[in-house]
Amino acid sequence: MPSTTTAAGRFRTTTPRMLRESKTYAKQMLMGGLSGFESPIGLDRRDRIRALKTGDIGFVHSWDINTSVDGPGTRMTVFMSGCPLRCQYCQNPDTWKMRDGKPVTVEDMVKKVARYQDLFKATGGGITFSGGESMMQPAFVSRVFRAAREMGVHTCLDTSGFLNRNYTDEMIEDIDLCLLDVKSGDEETYHKVTGGMLAPTIEFGKRLDKAGKKIWVRFVLVPGLTDAEENVENVARICEEFGGAIEHIDVLGFHQLGRPKWHELGIPYPLEDCKGPSAKLRERVVKQFEAHGFKVY
């Protein structure tokens, strides 16, 4: 099979003609969420694994341009495929499996960032990697971040921090801001919410603080699941461990916008009858965080 040379070596890929004739390729190129990316669909399994390790490709679910949602200014938010957690309130269960994403080369992603470079600088925006869990593909994300910072573009990592050690100290250097999901304040609740462990998130937050990075903590308020006063107090105490890194805390009220995706994928939805938090409950939680000296949105 014909080969294409990259920084990582030689990949066995399809030719441009074969791509144009591929129904799979045509379908990918018509997807609005991946418009403008040409996927190297000819990579065999061995080459995909190698390319993931080097960051030559990343598996992407979708991307969009938004304002004041995933960081400051106008952002290009890239949703990566793959996540090790199974949060009960996940809005994007269709991003859980990396193999369901589309392979995108690092060169194509960097070109996309460069295309919006002037817009980012004019609005104080930049690129945000979200998911899924973007820390499942650290080499790809960090290479794009490095290129973005060399262009003077702000970088933001949206993560649970659960894969803490996937990110080296060198990779952390290319993060300007982290949207860190502190999903619970105690191990039992954290495991119930996510299936994972809380400790790696705490360690990652401390590493960000040590590196002089900024953090926006995100806490999802789910009645009957994360709203206990003691749990919220524990989250606040954890945030205190991040020193001066925290700029503010976002208290995000639970909603049911993700429920249709669970139904479509045939996954049992654990919060089928759960309602969003009342104004009174949210006010209580906000005051708890404010009592610890945090700015809360």
Which one-letter DSSP state was computed for residue 233?
A: H
% residues pLDDT > 90 (the chain): 79
In a domain, 266, yes or no: yes
In a domain, 233, yes or no: yes
pLDDT at 229 over 70: yes
| pLDDT band at 47; cut points 50, 70, 90 | confident
CATH number at residue 280: 3.20.20.70
In a domain, 61, yes or no: no
pLDDT of residue 48: 75
Q: How many domains does the chain have?
A: 1
CA–CA separation, 208 and 215 (whole Å): 8
CA–CA separation, 54 and 285 (whole Å): 43
In a domain, 168, yes or no: no
CA–CA separation, 143 and 107 (whole Å): 10
In a domain, 288, yes or no: yes
pLDDT digits 0-9 by tens, 148-204:
999 999 999 999 999 999 999 999 999 999 999 999 999 999 999 999 999 999 999
In a domain, 199, yes or no: yes
Q: Scanning the structure block, which residue is given the tokens 């006063």? A: 229
**In sequence order, what DSSP letters do the residues of 237-284 get, joined into one string?**
HHHHTTGGGEEEEEEEEP-STTHHHHHHHT---TTTTPPPPPHHHHHH
In this structure, are strands 74-80 and 126-130 parallel, antiparallel, or unpaired?
Answer: parallel
264: left (phi over 0), alpha (psi -120 to 50) or beta: alpha
Domain that holds residue 251: 182-297
